[in-house]
Every structure is written in C-alpha cells, then in structure tokens.
Amino acid sequence: MTREAITRRAALLGAMGTGGLILSGCDRLSNNQTFQRMLASAEKLNLTGQRLVLNSSAPLAREYQKSDISRVFKANGTVRPDGEAYRKLAFAQFETWKLEIGGLVNKPLSLSLEDLKAMPSRTQITRHDCVEGWSAIGEWTGVPLSTLLNQAELKPNARYILFRCADDLIGSRDGSGLYYESIDLVDAFHPQTIMAHTMNEKPLPIEHGAPLRLRVERQLGYKMAKYVMRIEAVEEFSKIGLGKGGFWEDRGYEWYAGI
C-alpha cells in the first residue's frame, strides 16, 4: 500500500513538473531555429495536400447572397496609409493613380482606375476569413487578375505574382515596412482572383484598400493585399523583403494561407 501511495504522489508531482516543463520547454523550442523548421514543414503538407485537390479542378470558393453581407466589415491592418504620396492620391480621388504591371512580362502596363473600371469585371459575394479567426462577408467587383496578366503576357520563367502596396504597417522610413504579398500562378489565374475596385457596390473605401485590393478567395485575409500600387511577375521572392514572400510571412506567418 505504501508503495502505491508513494507512486501516486510521485505521479502527481511528475504531472505537475511535466506541466511546467511543457510551458518553459515549449517557449524555448518555439525560439529554436531547427524546431521552427520542423514545425514549418507542416505548411508544405498543407500546400501539397490542398493543391492535390485544388489544382486539378480549380473549385470555386462559396459565393453568398446579398442578404448575407456583413453589416460591418471589419477593417484590419492598415486603415489609412501614412505618407505624402498616398495622401495626395487619395485627395485627388485616385484620378492620378496608375497601376503598374511589370517584372517578367513582355508588355508592361500602366492602367488608371478608369481603365480598370472599363475592363470586363467579375462580381462575387464571398467570405473573408482573417487569420485571427473571424469572418466577414462582402461583395467585391474587379478585374480578374488573369485578364491583366494575359494582357501583359507573362514570360515563361515567371512563377509568382508580387503585389507592392502603399501601406507601411510598422511606419518604417526606408520603405522596409511596406506591405507586399505574393501568390503563385495557380491562385493568380483562378477565376475568383480579382483586383477589386468596388466593394458592396461602392468605390473601395480607404480602410479596405482604395483604390485597388487583391481578392484571393481560397486563402486567408492577409494574402489579400490592400492599396496595391504595382503588380510584378517574378521567378522567386527570396531576395525581396526578408525573403518569405510577404509582409506577414516575413513576420512568421505561413506563405500558403489556405488554412
């Protein structure tokens, strides 16, 4: 009996010790490079797993009814970019703004908001899922990214589409904090991937990325760059920013945000 009593106490102490060990151990592991790489390997599984089913048939994200649209669509991240250049653009109602399309393309383009609005568009009511966990539903109208890329004619070595934005979430002076994002060609040519200039039938508001934002409906919100100034076709993104393919990716989030 004594032996069992001791074992019981030992087990309790052991359990408590393990609890403490889990806590401090996990923090230490969380800051260990090798362990981080091991954890990050799951991202490749997420990407490969989802691409196995997403690539072949290009299924569409669910589209909703007008009555489903969120009364308040939460604006996250930057809600009004700082800086003289953007302020001037906004003051002029973005009439002076031009979307540049360049990089690995045969025909670089420079398009005004008016040009974009005159192009064939797609309207979709979709669910926006933030990495934080909340969802909001909105109606978006814009030019399919595939239309723009086909016009610009991608060079054969183009593998990613990069979006350079006007907002600087960390307020850096040297531009190292400027928001940017990248997607691969599977998502870039998906029919629901659009450059939206209109939200809920009104010009895209500043808090949601005026004059133009990306919609990639099968990924999380942070992929959908707001305040897009320039679209660039690139072969790789390891030398851009901190090399992870996006503002949040450079700060620890996964490049593939389908989950």
Partner 1 sequence: MVFAQETIEEPPAPRTRSGKELIYRHTFFVRLAHWVNVLCVVLLLMSGLQIFNAHAMLHWGIKGAETDPSILSIYAEEQVEGPPIGWTQIGSAKFNTTGWLGVFRDRDGFLSGRAFPYWLTIPSYQNLAEGRRWHFFFAWLFALNGFAYLIYGFAGRHFRRDLAPTRYDLKHIGHSILDHLKLKHPRGEAAKRYNVLQKLTYVAVIFILLPLMILTGLTMSPGVDATAHWLLDVFGGRQSARTIHFITASLLVLFILVHLIEVLLSGVFNELRSMITGWFAVRPEDPAAQKLDERIKQRIRP
Contact 90/211 with Cβ under 8 angstroms? no
Distances (CA, A) of 117 to 57, 120, 155, 203: 29, 8, 26, 10
Q: How far apart are CA 132 and CA 220, in angstroms?
A: 9
Compare residues 37 and 107 and give the one whose CB is closer to partner 1: 37
Compare residues 90 and 169 and give the one whose CB is closer to partner 1: 169
Site string for partner 1, 28-57 (x = CB under 8 A): --x-----x-xxxxxx-xx---x--xx--x
Q: Binders of partner 1 among 76-95, rule CB under 8 A?
A: none
Residue 212 CB, nearest approach to partner 1 (Å): 21
Residue 11 CB, nearest approach to partner 1 (Å): 5
- Residue 135 main-chain phi, psi, to 5 deg: -135, 145
Distances (CA, A) of 206 to 108, 121, 227, 238: 27, 21, 8, 30
**In a 3-state reduction of DSSP, which class is residue 150?**
helix
Contact 224/214 with Cβ under 8 angstroms? yes
The DSSP string of 25-93 is: HHHHHHT-HHHHHHHHHHHHHHHHHHHHHHHHH-PPPP---GGGS-SS----S-SS--SHHHHHHHHTT
Compare residues 136 and 204 and give the one whose CB is closer to partner 1: 136
Stretch that binds partner 1, among 92-100, 153-161, 230-238, 247-255 (CB under 8 A): 247-255
Q: Which amino acid is present at 242?
A: L
Q: Binders of partner 1 among 161-180, rule CB under 8 A?
A: none
- The DSSP symbol for 143 reads E
E-assigned strands of the chain? 98-103, 109-112, 122-129, 135-144, 160-168, 178-184, 194-199, 202-203, 213-215, 228-234
Residue 157 CB, nearest approach to partner 1 (Å): 26
Residue 259 CB, nearest approach to partner 1 (Å): 4
Figure out which of the listed residues 90, 119, 130, 169 binds partner 1, where binding follows CB under 8 A.
Answer: 130
Site string for partner 1, 7-26 (x = CB under 8 A): xx--x-------x--xxx-x
Residue 82 CB, nearest approach to partner 1 (Å): 24
Stretch that binds partner 1, among 83-91, 197-205, 237-245, 248-256 (CB under 8 A): 248-256
181 binds partner 1 (CB under 8 A): no
| Residue ranges in contact with partner 1 by CB under 8 A | 3-4, 7-8, 11, 19, 22-24, 26-27, 30, 36, 38-43, 45-46, 50, 53-54, 57, 59-62, 64, 68, 70-72, 74, 127, 129-137, 217-220, 248, 251-254, 258-259
